[in-house]
C-alpha cells in the first residue's frame, strides 16, 4: 500500500509534467538533503529527479526553479534541466533531469573554479534580486540595496538573528553583540560590484555528473559579494586547493579575502542555528569576538 500510494503520485507528476501516461514506473529514493523527499523516477517518458514536500513554504520550488534558470542562462555553470514544478495531492514538487554520477575529470576542480569565476562576472546594478527566495526552508530576503554592507545586515544577518532570538536560540547578549558588529561592517569588506551567486555553495550542492564535471544544484541565488560563495565552499571541509587557485587566476580576489571568510560565514552559520540548533553558535561567537 505504501509503494502504491507513492506510485500513484509519481505517475500523476509525470503526466502533469510531460503529458505521458505511464503505468510502468520504477522509483528509488535517493539522498537529497534533510528537508525534502527525493527520488529517481524511470519510465517511458525518461529518467527524472523528483523532490517534493507536503509542508513546503509557498512558492519554494518555483523560486528554486527560477534560481536554476538564472544560473543556466549565464552559460557559465552546469545545472540540471528543469522539467516542471507543481502541486499534486497537497504535495509541492520540482521535477528535474536525473544526473547519473560520474567519475571526476582530471581537471574537475580547476574547471569548477574557472566556471564559478565566470558566473560571478555576471553582475547587476544592485545587491539583491527581483524576488525573494529560500535557503533551505528559511525565507531569504532579497530587497535591492546599493551597498553590500546594508544588504548583508538588513537582508542576511538581521532576519536570521531576529528569528533565532524569537525562538530563544540565542541570548540577548548575542543580539547586542551583533548590533555592535553591524556598525563596523562597512569598513570590513572591500568594494566590489554585485556578482550573481549560487548562494548555498557547499560540497553537498555540487554533483559530479556523467561528463565528469561539476553540476550545481539547490541554489539560493542573489546578486551579492562574490566572497560569500567562496566562503561557503569552506564551511564543511572546503574544496581542493586547485579550485581556489583557478578561480583567483581567472578573477583575482582582493587582499585579505581568506581572513574575511568567517565574516561571510556568519550568515550560513546563523541559518544552521535556525534550522538545526545551537551547536553552530561557538563559531559565531568566536567571529564576533574578533571585531567587538
Please, what is the average pLDDT of the chain? 94
CATH class of 2-97: alpha beta
Report d(CA 90, CA 56) in Å as an integer: 10
% of the chain exceeding 70 in pLDDT? 97
- The answer to whether the Cα torsion of 225, 137, 158, 266 is positive or negative is negative
Per-residue pLDDT of 172-227, as tens digits, reads 999 999 999 999 999 999 999 999 999 999 999 999 999 999 999 999 999 999 99
**Confidence category of residue 58, pLDDT binned at 50, 70, 90:** confident
**Confidence category of residue 248, pLDDT binned at 50, 70, 90:** very high
What long-range pairs does 188-192 form, CB within 8 A, spacing at least 24?
Answer: 188/149, 188/260, 188/263, 188/291, 189/148, 189/149, 189/152, 189/225, 189/227, 189/260, 189/263, 190/254, 190/256, 191/148, 192/148, 192/225, 192/226, 192/227, 192/254
Report d(CA 222, CA 94) in Å as an integer: 20
- Whether 42 shows a pLDDT value over 50: the answer reads yes
* Catalytic site positions: 200
Per-residue pLDDT of 131-164, as tens digits, reads 999 999 999 999 999 999 999 999 999 999 999 9
Closest CA to 6 of 75, 72, 93: 93
Cα-based distances in Å from 210 to 103, 113, 177, 201, 213: 7, 19, 47, 20, 8
Domain positions in the chain are 2-97, 108-289
**Confidence category of residue 34, pLDDT binned at 50, 70, 90:** low
CATH fold of the domain at 108-289: Aminoglycoside 3'-phosphotransferase; Chain: A, domain 2 (3.90.1200)
Q: Are the folds of 2-97 and 108-289 the same?
A: no
Of the CA atoms within 13 Å of residue 10, those in its CB half-sphere come to 29
Per-residue pLDDT of 62-116, as tens digits, reads 999 999 999 999 999 999 999 999 999 889 999 999 999 999 999 999 999 999 9
Q: Which residues pair with 47 in a beta bridge?
A: 42
| Contact assessment for residue 211 and residue 81, using Cβ atoms and an 8 Å cutoff | no
Cα-based distances in Å from 42 to 26, 45, 164: 5, 8, 41
Q: Which residues pair with 222 in a beta bridge?
A: 197
Amino acid at each position: 500500500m505504501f509503494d502504491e500510494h507513492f506510485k500513484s503520485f509519481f505517475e500523476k507528476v509525470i503526466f502533469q509534467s510531460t503529458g505521458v501516461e505511464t503505468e510502468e514506473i520504477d522509483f528509488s529514493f535517493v539522498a537529497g538533503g534533510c528537508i525534502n523527499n527525493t527520488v529517481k523516477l524511470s519510465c517511458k517518458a525518461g529518467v527524472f529527479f523528483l523532490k517534493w514536500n507536503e509542508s513546503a513554504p509557498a512558492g519554494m520550488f518555483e523560486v528554486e526553479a527560477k534560481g536554476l534558470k538564472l544560473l543556466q542562462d549565464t552559460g557559465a555553470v552546469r545545472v540540471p534541466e528543469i522539467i516542471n514544478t507543481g502541486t499534486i495531492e497537497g504535495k509541492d514538487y520540482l521535477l528535474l533531469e536525473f544526473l547519473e554520477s560520474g567519475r571526476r575529470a582530471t581537471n574537475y576542480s580547476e574547471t569548477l573554479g574557472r566556471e564559478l569565476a565566470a558566473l560571478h562576472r555576471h553582475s547587476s546594478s544592485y545587491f539583491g534580486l527581483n524576488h525573494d527566495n529560500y535557503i533551505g526552508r528559511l525565507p531569504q530576503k532579497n530587497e535591492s540595496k546599493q551597498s553590500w554592507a546594508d544588504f548583508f545586515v538588513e537582508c542576511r544577518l538581521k532576519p536570521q538573528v531576529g528569528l533565532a532570538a524569537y525562538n530563544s536560540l540565542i541570548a540577548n547578549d548575542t543580539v547586542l553583540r551583533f548590533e555592535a558588529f553591524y556598525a563596523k561592517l562597512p569598513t570590513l569588506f572591500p568594494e566590489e560590484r554585485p556578482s550573481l551567486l549560487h548562494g548555498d555553495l557547499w560540497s553537498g550542492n555540487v554533483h559530479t555528473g556523467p561528463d565528469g564535471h561539476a553540476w550545481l544544484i539547490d541554489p539560493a541565488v542573489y546578486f551579492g559579494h562574490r566572497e560569500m560563495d567562496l566562503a561557503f565552499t569552506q564551511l564543511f571541509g572546503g574544496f581542493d586547493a586547485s579550485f581556489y587557485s583557478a578561480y583567483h587566476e581567472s578573477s583575482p580576489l582582493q587582499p585579505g579575502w581568506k581572513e574575511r571568510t568567517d565574516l561571510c560565514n556568519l550568515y550560513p552559520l546563523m541559518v544552521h542555528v535556525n534550522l538545526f540548533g545551537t551547536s553552530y553558535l561557538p563559531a559565531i561567537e568566536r567571529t564576533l569576538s574578533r571585531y567587538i
